[in-house]
């Protein structure tokens, strides 16, 4: 007869199996989020690059080893090691006053770390320690006993599955590299010998790829149904973790309300519905559809986010793919017969000029605290930044040049430490804004964005989004708005 202790230990094992299996699978599905989490916790770029692909398989390996009694002790040791390392990282960050987001379960759920995170991990550690106390002779249920008796075959099967998964991931990385190179060619204006730049996206006039994607309420939306409304269809490709996409959201909201009579706007995003509802407030659920692994974007040759393309009511491609805020705005303007001015965007976001700037107190990379009151008496530009943002990386050299120009004091407000900026010679310490709370208080919906504050502590400009717009904002001739 199986005693209460054996049953309790079995339940503890199954609970840990579920925790580590969900964590591993979630991280496989949210590889960028795993990398960003490691960076936010203070790991360097190379360390994050090395750990992020391996971490999900370590968690899955611990979950598998915990199933049969024969390998449960090894699985418990692996689980405890992962929990102890992660708990130590949490404790160090909390001691430094940092609260990066814990993405232990990928995009399923994420929130800033705190004391409760340590308590939760402590409880998991107690379960792992309890499994180590399980007597080796404890009888497993028949299915577990079979796994224990065929452990070599199980390990070989797991290895084969892991090999397939790694191969798929490697293939996706290679495909992503190809997309990145194609995007860089577009950004750098590469041209063949005839000096004619190839068009981005599919050829004009060709049939637009159809799709059937779930909206935020789970209902299927097809391109054919959208075309049946009799207006051009604008497909806007975004991603919830993309900083420039977040910066574009206020513009998308404005366009959707003002251009509804002339353009059917559809946001093509990724991830879970809950995540996208928070990412895209104000959009009708049936105008946001969710693709899997950028499949639809690839079909339209839209390599990168944000991007957009117009499909005419007949189902033909009516525009090149536009990448980035300004190019998308010009595309929308052309489709709706309006004009986009680069230095005076039609859509203004941010706080009102002349209003008091929000107060804040945030830690810096030097271990000090930066308070907004300390910035009074001089003209200041806050640059909202993220080391995980590709568009920030492209603007890194410009940021150093802007600081060196010294026309106005530059304060980099970053979601995490940025070793690259320091290595490039950034003079002032980076202000750490975990969760972008300071950025959000200024109306910043993404990165890179910037805003100027006058010497009297009032807002002196509208928010600038993107490298070019920030460069205009920081020109010495720009002055302070009055």
Mean pLDDT along residues 244-249: 83
Domain 361-478 is classified in which CATH homologous superfamily? Glutaredoxin (3.40.30.10)
Question: Tens digits of per-residue pLDDT, 233-243?
Answer: 999 999 887 77
Long-range pairs, 330-333, Cβ under 8 A, ≥24? 331/234, 332/234, 332/255, 332/259, 332/263, 332/308
Question: Tens digits of per-residue pLDDT, 306-318?
Answer: 889 999 888 999 8
Alpha-carbon distance 312 to 292, whole Å?
24
Do 212-336 and 361-478 show the same overall fold? Answer: yes
Mean pLDDT along residues 258-279: 82
| Mean of per-residue pLDDT scores for the chain | 76
The full set of domain ranges for the chain reads 4-149, 212-336, 361-478
**Residue 170 CA to chain centroid, in angstroms?**
20
| 481 Rama class: left (phi>0) / alpha (psi -120 to 50) / beta | beta
Alpha-carbon distance 241 to 32, whole Å?
8
Q: Is the pLDDT of residue 172 over 80?
A: no
Q: Is the pLDDT of residue 185 over 70?
A: no
Which residue has tokens 């830690």? 363
Q: Would you state the pLDDT for residue 344?
A: 33
Q: Do residues 426 and 321 make contact, with C-beta atoms less than 8 angstroms apart?
A: no
Mean pLDDT along residues 260-271: 83
Q: Would you state the pLDDT for residue 167?
A: 57
Q: Is the pLDDT of residue 192 over 50?
A: no
Distance (Å) of CA 280 to CA 184, 273, 305, 318, 449: 27, 10, 15, 26, 18
Alpha-carbon distance 397 to 382, whole Å?
17
pLDDT band at 262 (very low <50, low <70, confident <90, very high): confident
pLDDT band at 273 (very low <50, low <70, confident <90, very high): confident
Q: Which two three-digit tokens encode residue 461?
A: 């400009």
Q: Is the pLDDT of residue 341 over 80?
A: no
How many degrees, rounded to 5, is the angle at CA 338 between CA 337 and CA 342? 140
Among 3.90.1150.10, 3.40.50.360, 3.40.30.10, 3.60.15.10, name the CATH number for the domain at 212-336: 3.40.30.10
């Amino acid at each position: 007869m199986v005693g209460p202790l054996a049953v309790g230990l079995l339940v503890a094992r199954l609970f840990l199996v579920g925790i580590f299996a969900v964590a591993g699978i979630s991280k496989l599905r949210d590889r960028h989020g795993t990398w960003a989490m490691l960076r936010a916790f203070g790991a360097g770029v190379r360390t994050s690059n090395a750990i992020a692909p391996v971490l999900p398989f370590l968690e899955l390996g611990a979950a598998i080893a915990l199933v049969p009694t024969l390998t449960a002790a090894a699985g418990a040791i692996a689980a405890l090691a992962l929990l102890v390392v992660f708990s130590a990282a949490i404790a160090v960050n909390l001691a430094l006053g940092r609260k990066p987001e814990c993405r232990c379960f990928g995009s399923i759920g994420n929130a800033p770390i705190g004391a409760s995170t340590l308590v939760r991990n402590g409880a998991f550690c107690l379960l792992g320690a309890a499994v180590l106390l399980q007597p080796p002779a404890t009888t497993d249920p028949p299915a577990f006993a079979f796994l224990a008796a065929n452990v070599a075959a199980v390990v070989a099967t797991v290895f084969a599955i892991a090999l397939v998964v790694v191969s798929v991931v490697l293939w996706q990385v290679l495909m992503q590299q190809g997309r990145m190179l194609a995007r860089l060619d577009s950004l750098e204006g590469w041209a063949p010998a005839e000096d004619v730049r190839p068009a981005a996206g599919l050829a004009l006039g060709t049939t637009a790829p159809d799709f059937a994607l779930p909206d935020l309420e789970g209902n299927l939306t097809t391109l054919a149904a959208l075309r049946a409304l009799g207006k051009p269809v604008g497909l806007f490709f975004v991603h919830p973790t993309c900083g420039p996409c977040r910066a574009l959201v206020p513009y998308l909201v404005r366009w959707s309300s003002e251009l509804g009579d002339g353009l059917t706007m559809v946001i093509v995003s990724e991830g879970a519905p809950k995540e996208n509802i928070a990412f895209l407030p104000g959009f009708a659920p049936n105008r946001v559809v969710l693709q899997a692994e950028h499949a639809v974007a690839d079909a339209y040759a839209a390599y990168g986010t944000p991007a957009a393309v117009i499909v005419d009511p007949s189902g033909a491609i009516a525009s090149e793919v536009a990448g980035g805020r300004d190019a998308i705005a010009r595309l929308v303007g052309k489709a709706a017969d309006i004009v986009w001015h680069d230095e005076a965007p039609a859509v203004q976001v941010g706080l009102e000029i002349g209003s008091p700037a929000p107060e804040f107190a945030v830690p810096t990379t030097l271990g000090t605290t930066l308070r907004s009151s300390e910035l009074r008496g001089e003209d200041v530009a806050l640059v909202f930044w993220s080391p995980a943002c590709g568009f920030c990386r492209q603007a890194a050299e410009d940021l150093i040049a802007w600081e060196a120009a010294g026309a106005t004091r530059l304060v980099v407000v970053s979601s995490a430490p940025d070793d690259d900026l320091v290595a490039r010679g950034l003079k002032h310490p980076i202000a750490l804004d975990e969760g972008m709370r300071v950025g959000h208080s200024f109306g910043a919906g993404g990165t890179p964005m910037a805003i100027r504050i006058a010497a009297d502590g009032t807002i002196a400009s509208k928010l600038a989004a993107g490298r070019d717009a920030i460069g205009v904002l920081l020109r010495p001739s720009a002055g302070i708005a009055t």
